[in-house]
Amino acid sequence: MPLDAELNSLGLPKAPADTRVVVAMSGGVDSSVVAAELAAEGYDVVGVTLQLYDHGAALAKKGACCAGRDIHDARRVAEAMGFPHYVLDYENAFREAVIDEFADSYLGGATPVPCIRCNERVKFRDLLETAKDLDADCMATGHYIQRKMGARGPELHRAADPVRDQSYFLFSTTAEQLAYLRFPLGHLPDKGATRALAARHGLSVADKPDSQDICFVPNGDYASVIEKLRPGAGEPGEIVDTAGRVLGTHRGVIHYTVGQRKGLGIGGLADPLYVVKLDPDARRVVVGPKDALATRIVPVREVNWLGDAPFDSRPAWELGVKVRSTRAPAEAVVRPTGPTTAEVELAAPEEGVSPGQACVFYGADGSRVFGGGWIWRG
């Protein structure tokens, strides 16, 4: 078609019937709606579901994505809407790229975010390459985030619905990946609108509950998963205050996270204590008062930058940053210390900043995502 051809709804100069779209289908309502909507618009849709772990053990497990029943649900949607669906075995890749690092990070006293690594290393790397091998023009997902065209190309923006926004989990999406990806749900006002679309298409997953857990962590019990992956990881040790005085014993560093207050087993104190640091080498959990959690300087590495100018082209960037997925962007100055490293100075101290978490950068308006990095020491 000529260069001045009208763009379709995915921003491509082709008729929908001539546009192949691989849809990453988890079996949930979000990705199912994306696939159904695109199929109804006449696109050449190919549904792909990833088997990320032994789903035989997960068939009876609720509240997590990519389990056995989710593969079945994705297949049913594809059959109902009349497009092909494939299940790809990514179990080994998922374990190497996500699960092993998750376990090792906890053993190292960090608090990892495996969903980000899954997007970065499996869905937006390996699956994206598979989509290209299938001659797809683009790949679509059910993530709540927006892709908008800017003066210098596609930009990443927060979802219209702040409650559903997943930008924190997608900060490591590269500019090259963004050129190929599409997020058809990012503009919707709320999850109710998604479910209404599912009902309109008669999808069996219209009322399916949202996933809550990390897919390979049943019932949120991180410690038991890590102990299975790394036998002996739950060795006991001392609970000490910030001066090094022993206050009690613990049942393994992997059972604690920075900022935790409950479950310390230390009684008889006038003021509550919080976990302020984990020292896995000494098998120590360091506790202190709440104000000991306050942090203003946050070192980050593995920075993925989505700004228009090179990251280290200026000494500092005034941005909003999120150091937890549940917090709103806060004012900060981001000072590059190299092409992929930085020191982030928060305008106001934040509590519970933990190594292993992401620090995500936003523009002044709070909408555009400028990338981010990984917090690497407390």
For residue 150, what are the CA distances in angstroms to 18, 313, 361? 26, 20, 17
Q: 3-class DSSP state for residue 317? A: strand
DSSP secondary structure letter of residue 5: P
Q: What is the CATH number of domain 234-288?
A: 2.30.30.280
Domain boundaries along the sequence of the chain: 16-219, 234-288, 294-375
pLDDT in tens, 229-242: 898 888 999 999 99
66 a catalytic residue: no
Say which DSSP state 82 is in. T
Q: pLDDT for 328-339, tens place per residue? A: 999 999 999 999
% of the chain beyond a pLDDT of 70: 94
Residue 214 has pLDDT above 90, yes or no: no
The superfamily CATH assigns to domain 294-375 is Translation factors (2.40.30.10)
Distance, in Å, from the CA atom of 102 to the CA atom of 114, rounded to the nearest integer, reads: 6
Q: 16-219: what fold?
A: Rossmann fold (3.40.50)
CA–CA dist 236, 310 (Å, integer): 46
Q: Is residue 215 annotated as a catalytic residue, yes or no?
A: yes
Q: Within a 10 A sphere around the Cβ of 277, how many other Cβ atoms?
A: 18
Phi and psi of 96, rounded to 5°? -70, -40
The pTM of this model reads 0.92
Check 65, 118, 138, 359 and give the catalytic one: 118
Q: Which two tokens stand for residue 96?
A: 């190497």
CA-CA distance, 63 to 220, in Å (whole number)? 10
Q: Kindly name the residue from 66, 115, 138, 215 that is annotated as catalytic.
A: 215
pLDDT one-digit tens code per residue, 258-271? 999 988 988 767 78
- Residue 12 CA from chain centroid, whole number: 27
E strand or H helix at 178: helix 175-180
- Under 8 Å between Cβ of 159 and 148: no
Say yes or no to pLDDT of 253 above 60: yes
The model's pLDDT over 311-326, given as tens digits with 9 standing for 90+, comes to: 999 999 999 999 999 8
Please write the tens of the pLDDT for every residue from 10-46. Answer: 999 999 999 999 999 999 999 999 999 999 999 999 9
